[in-house]
Structure 1
Amino acid sequence: MFQASRGRRWAVVLLVPFLLGALLWASSWSAPADPPAPRHARAPRTPRPAASPDKPLRLAQASAPAQAAPAPSSPAPSVSRALPAPSPRALKLYQLGKRLGVHEPRLEDPCVAPSGATCSRTALAPFFESLDALSSREAASPTVISAFGNSLIAGDRIVDVIREELGATFGDGGRGVLAMDRLAPYGPRVRAGFARGGWEPRTLGEVKLAELPFGISGIYHRSTTTKASSRFALDREPRGTLWWLDVPRAGRLSVHADGQELARAEPQGSGQAQALPFDIPEGARHLEVVADGRGATVLGVVLQHQRPGIVLDTLGVPSADANLFLRAREDIFRTQLAERSPRLLLFILGGNEAKRLEWGRSKLAEVEEGLRTFVRRSRAAAPGSACLVVGPIDAVRGGNGPKKLAQRPYLDEVISIERQIALSEGCAFFDIFSAMGGSGSLARFVDAGLVHEDLVHPRGHGLDILGQLITDALLRSWVDAADPRRQAALAPPLQASEETR
C-alpha cells in the first residue's frame, strides 16, 4: 500500500510532466506522430516512438534507483528499451486515474538467476526477450500471451486494452483463439464468431460439471441442430486450426472459406480432442464452420498471422477460479497450450476465490493448492514461457450507514497467497488492488459510475483503467529489467512466514 505522503509525491510527479508535456507536445515533437490505429485494427503497425522525458509516461512514470548499485556483471540487452509515447486513450485514462486515486503500477519481477550483487535473468525474461526481438524487427513469428481469468477476462475489455496497447508498440499478430459464439446474447464479438442454428455453450465455471472435457479455453460449443454454423470475418490470415472433440455418434464438421470447403473432420468416436489445420485462400473474406449433424463439438478456432506481433488469447471463463480451471482435461490442456507456445502466461484470478472463502465454500488451503497446481500445470505445458500472476481487484459489498460499501473479507489473504505462490514458483506478481488505490478504490469507481449494479464488475472506462495498469506495469518492468542492478529491489526475498503460510 502507498502511504499518504508517497501518494502526494506521486500526484506531483504525475502532474508536472503532464503539464509540461501538454505545452511542449506540439512544439518540441521532432516528428509528427502517426494517427492512432482504430480499435481492433489488424494491419501491422509501426512501433510508437519512445516518450520524451518531459512528457507523461502513461500511468507508469519513470523513477530512478534510490542509490547507486555495483556495476552489472552481465551484459544489458542489446535493444534499447524505452517506454513508448502514450496513446490518446492512455492519456485520457491517465487523467481519469488521477481523479480516482490510482497509484503507480509496478510489479514484482523476481530474479531467477542471481549473479553476485546483480541479476542476470528475471522471471519475465522470456517475454521481455520476445519484446526485444519484436522491437528490433528480428522476430520471425508472433509473440503469444495466454491470459487465463474469470468473468473480468471473459468480457475481453481488460485484455483488449493490453492487446491493443502492446500491439500498437510491437505489432499486431492477429486474434488467436476464438469461440464459436458468445456465451450470452450480449457482449463483444471480437473473440467469437456469428453462430446460426443451434449451438449449446458449456463452461468449466458451471456448478454442474459438463459431460464432455474442456481444453485451455474452458468452453466448448455443441451443435443441437443439423447445419448449425458459425461465421468469422477474415483478415488475410494464411492458416487456421479447428479444435474439436471426436464425440461418438456426432455429426461431422467442415470448414469453408467463401463457400469453398477447406477441410473436413470425420468423427470416429474416440473421445479424443483433435486439431484440424487448414490453409486459407488468399483474399478470402469469410470463414465458416459447419456441423452436418447434432452433437458436433468445437473447442475453439485459431486464426492468426505468421507475421511478428502480439497475439493475446482470451481464456476467461465466467465464475472461474484456479480450481475450476483444473477441470480441463490435462492431456488436452497440455497439448493445446504447447501448440500455442506462449511467451507469457498471464493469470488474472482471485475475485471468485475471495467470495467463496467468504461464503464458506472454500478454505485458504484449497485456494493455495488450486492456484499453485494450476500455475505448475501451465508452466509444464509451456516451459519456455514467462508467467505473471495478477491479484484480485478491490471488492465490496453493500451495507448501511457510513460503511455503505465495505471491503469484502479474505481479499488481503488471497492477495498474500497469490504473491507468495507467484514469487516462490518463479513468476512475477502484480498487486492491482494497490495500484487501483487499495481499500476504498472500488467505491470511488462506483461513485464515478464505472461499476455495474452488482458492485462486482467494473464497466466501460473502469475496465480500461485496469487493462492500462497491467499494460503499464509490464512496460515499466520491461524497461527496468534492462538494468540488472535494479532487480534486487523489485522483488525482495520472501520472509519465512510467507513461505510457510
Structure 2
Amino acid sequence: MKPFRAFLFLSSVLILLFLVSLYRMQANQEEKFVLTPVPQLTHAVSTPLQQTSPPGKLIPDTAVAPAGANEADSLLPGPALKPQLPATYTSELEYAATDSIRLAALAHKLGQLSSNKEQVRIIYYGDSQIEGDQITSALRQKLQQHYGGHGPGLIAGAPYYNPAHQLIMTTSDNWKMIPIKAMGQRNKSVLFQNSLALAPQQHDCWFRINRLKFLNPQSDYQQVRLFYYANDSVRISCSNAARPVFEKQSAPTLATSNIELDFDQTPKELTIQFTAKDSLWIAGLSLDSPWGVFVDNIALRGQAFPPFSKGNKAELKAMMDQLTPDLFILQFGVNVVPYFTATNRSFGRHLSDQVQIIRELCPHTPIIIVGVSDMAKRENGEFRSYANIAQIKQVQRAVAQANQCLFWDLEAFMGGSGSMIRWVNSEPPLGRKDYIHFSQRGGEKIGNEIARLLISEFDNQQQLAWTNN
C-alpha cells in the first residue's frame, strides 16, 4: 500500500472511531442514575417519595424496575440483571417557627408573572460547589420553563463561558479582576468581584459576548444591564455584530450606576466599548429578558459564607436596590468542615452576621440556607465521611431558625452520612474524585430537586391564597 493511500486509510479509521465514540457519548446522556442503595435510616419512614412528609424528614423511595423490565429479566444470573432505580431520599424545606408569611409574597408575584410581565430575581450564593453554573443552571432552566424568562443572569466582568446558554464572553487585555480580599471595604459589587480598567489613558477597553454558532443557539437573553462606576467621564458605546446600537457620554460617578440595553432578539455578537480618562470599574453585567425568572450564580471559592461585612454596605444596598432580588439562596459549609469542632462557635456567629446584613439590605426578601453536603476523606486507606457534618448542619439550621430563614438539608437529600462516597462511585458518577464537589450530573440532580421543592411550595401557597379568597 502506497504511503498516501495508507494515510487515507488510517485517517478514515480514526474518523470512524471518533464518530463511534461521539455516538456512545451522546447515548450515555440518556442513562439513568444508578446509585448504591442507601442504608435504611433509623428515623426514616418507609413511604413512597410522592407522599408529603414533615419538614426535614427523610423518605426512602421504593426501588422499581426500569422501563422495559420483564419477568424473564428476573430469572437471569445476578451480574446480568438490569440495574434498578436506587432508594432515594427527599428533604423538605423547613420554615422557622416564627415565619408566618413563608413564601406567600413571592408565590403571588410568580402567579401574576405572565400577565404583569415582571422580573423575579433569585440570587444564589455559594462556594466552589456551584462554580461553573453548577446546580444553578438546572434550577434556572426548570424555573424558566415553568414561569418564563431567559438568560444566565448576573455575571462578573471577566472572561466567561456558559455552554448551557451557548455564549462566551471575552475582554480586552487592559481589564484587571479585583477580588474581595483586595477590595475590602471599598467593594461595591454584590458579586464581590470588580473588574477595573487601570488608567487606560484614552485607550479603549471592551467586553464582547458571542453566541456559540456551532451549537445552533436558541433564543436567550434580550436585555443587558451594565453596573459601573468611574472616577472621570467615560464614553460607552455598544454594537451588535459590528452595527452600532447605543452610545452615551457618562459623567463621573462614584456611586454604582446602571445602563439598560434592550434587544428584539438575542444579539449574535455584542460588544460594549469604553473610552475613559481614568479608572473605570465594572460591578457586574446582567443578561436577562424583559420579564421572567432569573437565577444569578455567584460562586465564592474558599468562603464559608458571603462576605457582606467586608464590603461598603451603603453601596451594596444601592446595587441591591437596582437589582431588587426576590429570594436569596446560600449554600456554604464545605470550607468549614476540615476545621470545625464542637467548641468552635465563630462559624455560627459569622454566618448569622452575614444573614442579618442581607436582612438590612433587603428587609423583605426571603432567604434559604442550604445545609452542608456530605464530604469524605481517606482514613487508613478507606474513605469515610467527616464526623462533624451533623454538627455543622445543626449550626446552620439554628441560624436559619433564629433569623426566620428557610433551611434545606442537602446531606439528607444525598442519603445521609457516607452518601458522597456512594455518589462518587455511582454510574454515572454524581460526585468528583475529591469527595467534596459534585459532577455535572450530580449538580443537575440537586438543582432539579431545589426547583421541584420551590415550584411545589409556590403552587401550595397560590392554592392556599385562592382558597382563602
TM over 0.5: yes
Q: Which amino acid aligns with 1:132?
A: G
Alignment correspondent of 1:419 = 397
Separation in 2 of the partners of 1:239 and 1:478? Answer: 26
> Helix, strand or coil for the counterpart of 1:326?
helix
- The correspondence for 1:321, drawn from 292, 304, 321, is 304
**Per-residue CA distance 1:264-287 (angstroms, 9 max, x = gap):** 46574x6x3321324445455433
- Residue 466 of structure 1 corresponds to 446
Query: Given that residues 126 and 300 in structure 2 are in contact (C-alpha distance below 8 angstroms), is that contact kept between their aligned partners in structure 1?
Result: yes
Q: Could you list the per-position Cα deviations for residues 337-377 of structure 1 after superposition, in whole angstroms to 9, with x for gaps in the alignment? A: 1221122111112222333436x9xx843212222122222
Cα separation, partners in 2 of 1:16 and 1:420, compared to 1, 3 Å: closer
Supply the AA of the counterpart residue of 2:192: G
Instruction: State the one-letter code of the partner of 2:170.
Output: F
Verify: 1:302 aligned to 2:302, yes or no: no
Deviation for aligned residue 1:159: 0.6
Aligned-partner SS, 2:336: helix
In 1, Cα distance between equivalents of 2:107 and 2:167:
26
Contact 1:109 1:124 (8 Å CA) reproduced: no
Q: 1:427/1:314 Cα in 2 relative to 1: closer, same or farther (>3 Å)?
A: same
Aligned to 1:227: 204
The 10-residue stretch of structure 1 (229-238 or 294-303) with the greater mean CA deviation from structure 2:
229-238
Query: Residue 330 of structure 1 is aligned with which of 306, 313, 321?
Result: 313
Partner amino acid, structure 1, of 2:355: V
8 Å CA contact 1:109, 1:427 repeated in 2: yes
Native 8 Å contact 1:97 1:465 kept in 2 = no
Q: 1:357 aligns with which of 340, 345, 349?
A: 340
Kindly tell me: are residues 398 and 382 of structure 1, through their superposed partners in 2, closer, same or farther at Cα, counting changes over 3 Å? same
How do residues 200-215 of structure 1 correspond to structure 2 at under 5 angstroms? 200-204=176-180, 206=181, 212-215=186-189
In structure 1, how many angstroms separate the alpha carbons of the residues matched to 2:325 and 2:384? 39
Give the Å deviation of 1:432. Answer: 0.7
Q: Does 1:440 align with 2:418?
A: yes
Match of 1:339 in 2: 322
* Counterpart for residue 27 of structure 1: none
Paired residues of 1:390 and 1:431 also in contact (CA < 8 A) = yes
CA gap of 1:105–1:444, structure 2 versus 1, over 3 A, is same
- Name the CA shift for 1:431/1:192 in 2 (closer, same or farther; >3 Å): farther
Q: CA deviation at 1:454?
A: 2.8
What is the alpha-carbon distance in structure 2 between the residues aligned to residue 182 and residue 188 of structure 1? 16
1:196 maps to 2:178: no
Q: Deviations over 1:146-192 (max 9, x none)?
A: 11111222321201111001111111243331222247x99978686
What is the aligned counterpart of 1:3 among 9, 21, 41? 41
Task: Determine the structure 2 residue equivalent to 1:348.
Answer: 331
Residue 323 of structure 1 and its aligned partner are, at CA, apart by 5.8
What residue identity is the alignment partner of 1:339? Q
Q: Contact 2:175–2:195 at 8 Å: present in 1 too? A: yes
The reply on whether 1:148 has 2:148 as its aligned counterpart is no
Task: Indicate how the Cα distance of structure 1 residues 5 and 368 shifts in structure 2: closer, same or farther if over 3 A, else same.
Answer: closer
By how many angstroms is 1:247 displaced? 4.2
Which residue in the other structure is 1:159 paired with?
A: 136
Deviation at 1:193, TM superposition (A): 2.3
Alignment correspondent of 1:274:
256
1:210 is displaced (CA, Å) by: 5.8
Task: Tell me how far apart the structure 1 counterparts of residues 383 and 65 of structure 2 sit (CA, whole Å).
Answer: 35
| Aligned equivalent of 1:102 | 88
Secondary structure at 2:349 match in 1: helix
- CA deviations on 1:301-338 (whole Å, 9 max, x unpaired) are 1232223x211111222112226343232122211112
**Distance in 1 between residues matched to 2:350 and 2:393, nearest whole Å:** 14
Structure 1 residues 478 and 274, CA, compared in 2 at 3 Å: closer, same or farther?
Answer: closer
| TM score, norm. by length of structure 1 | 0.67
Distance in structure 1 (CA, Å) of the matches to 2:417 and 2:61: 23
- Compute the displacement of 1:391 (Å): 1.0
Distance 1:286 1:211, change over 3 A: farther
Hey, what does 2:109 align to over in structure 1? 130
Instruction: Tell me which amino acid in the other structure corresponds to 2:120.
Output: T
Deviations 1:404-456 (A, max 9, x none): 22222432222111111112211111011111111001011121233333332
Contact kept in structure 1, 2:124 and 2:296, CA below 8 Å? yes
Distance 1:109 1:143 in 2: 21
| Structure 1 gap ranges (5+) | 24-94, 114-120, 486-501
The normalised TM-score by structure 2 is 0.71
Shift of 1:230: 1.3
- Distance, in Å, in 2 between the alignment partners of 1:220 and 1:8 is 50
| CA pair 188-141 structure 1, distance change in 2 beyond 3 A | closer
Change (3 A) 1:203 1:18: farther
Which amino acid in structure 2 is aligned with residue 196 of structure 1?
S
Q: Which of 346, 351, 357 is the matching residue for 1:366?
A: 346
State, as a whole percentage, how many aligned pairs show the same letter: 16
* Residue identity opposite 2:302 in structure 1: S
Q: Counterpart of 1:179? A: 156
**CA deviation vs aligned residue, 1:183-205 (integer Å, no higher than 9, x gap):** 7x99978686222324322322x
Q: Secondary structure at the match of 2:112?
A: helix
Seen in structure 2, the aligned counterparts of structure 1 residues 162 and 299 have a Cα distance that, compared at 3 Å, is same
Contact kept? 1:389, 1:418, Cα under 8 Å: yes
Aligned residue pairs total 390
Answer yes or no: is the 8 Å Cα contact 2:132–2:162 preserved in 1. Answer: no
Q: Does the residue aligned with 1:453 lie in a helix, a strand or coil?
A: coil
Cα shift at 1:219: 1.0
Task: Give the match for residue 491 of structure 1.
Answer: none
For the pair 1:169 / 2:138, whether they are aligned, the reply is no
Kindly provide the CA deviation profile for residues 242-300 of structure 1, in whole angstroms up to 9, marking residues without a partner as x: 2123247xx846230224262446574x6x33213244454554332224367432111
* SS in structure 2 at match of 1:333: helix
Q: 1:18 to 1:218 in 2, by over 3 A?
A: farther
One of 267, 271, 281 as aligned partner of 1:288: 271
